[in-house]
Structure formats: structure tokens, C-alpha cells
Amino acid sequence: MEIKELGHLVLYVRDIGRSVAFYRDVLGWRQVFPEATDAAGNPLRLPAAAFSSGRTHHELLLIEVGENATAVPAGRRLGMYHFGLKVGDTDDDLREALARLQAAGVTLVGASDHTVTHSLYILDPDGNEIELYIDVPGVDWKSDPALIAAPIRPLRL
């Protein structure tokens, strides 16, 4: 077996409406479900939502589990640390993303220059960490894979 690509990510969320507003309205991700309808043309009413950049049928699926769900624990723990979303190709694209985040009142929890990427880190409404990044133009990590492990530096936009 060989993995060809990461297909999609599924997150449990407390409130589907709040999370949809964040991923669709703040991050600008195209919602592809529940825009769908059943065979009779009735809107599907599931506590879930899916998003796609157009690369595949969905890259993110959110499933509502309710306000009483246990929060993601802080600090070192097993499980997901963060997931990355590419937001463009240049630092100008990353600056635009930062301005949009600031206008929406989203707190920045980190900003890093990873040599191969320039990255901003934020939390979604349920505390899942998201890396918003651009691949740094001209960095040839395929010819020099050690660049992937380069020391992390503060990001200067």
C-alpha cells in the first residue's frame, strides 16, 4: 500500500452553526454540504457540514456533538496537534489572511517562519489549532529534504 494524499479531516464540534460560520465566513472555505438535497429535493438536515477547496468532494467534515462535549485538553497530549490549510502562494496572501482574521476578531496563537512555509496559527471555536500557511517561493525542499527540519524562526510579515 502507498498513501497518495491526505483525503479529508473530520472534527467533532459543539455547535455546527458557530463552526460553519467560522470555516465558511471567516476562513472562506466553500461549504458543499448541507447545501445538498435528498432525492425528493428536500434539504438534508443533519448536524454536520462539509467543506471543499475543489480538490476533492470534501476535505473537512464537521459533526455536531453538542455543548456538553469534553473540550480539547490543553498542553502536551496524544492526538492531533494542528492541521494546515494553504491560503495562498505569497506573503501578501498571508498578510491578507491575517487582516481577515484580525477583522473577525480571531486570536493569533503563533506565527512562524519554517523556511519551507510561512505560517500563522489560530484556534477554531472548539479549540482545534489550525496552521494557515504559504509555501515559500523558491525553496526546493525536494532537492534538500533537510530544509523541512530547519530551525523555526519568528515570522516577519
pTM check: above 0.75: yes
Residues 34-47 pLDDT 10s? 765 566 766 666 78
Amino acid in the structure at residue 13: V
Which residue ranges of the chain lie beneath pLDDT 50? Answer: none
Query: Residue 132 is inside which H or E element, if any?
Result: strand 129-135
Q: What is the pLDDT of residue 72?
A: 83
Other beta carbons within 10 Å of 39: 5
All domains of the chain in start order, with CATH: 9-64 (3.30.720), 82-154 (3.10.180.10)
Going from the C-alpha of 84 to that of each of 28, 112, 123, 130, the distances in angstroms are: 15, 13, 12, 6
DSSP 59: S
Q: What is the pLDDT of residue 37?
A: 59
Q: What is the pLDDT of residue 74?
A: 83
Please give the grid coordinates belonging to residue 124: 477554531
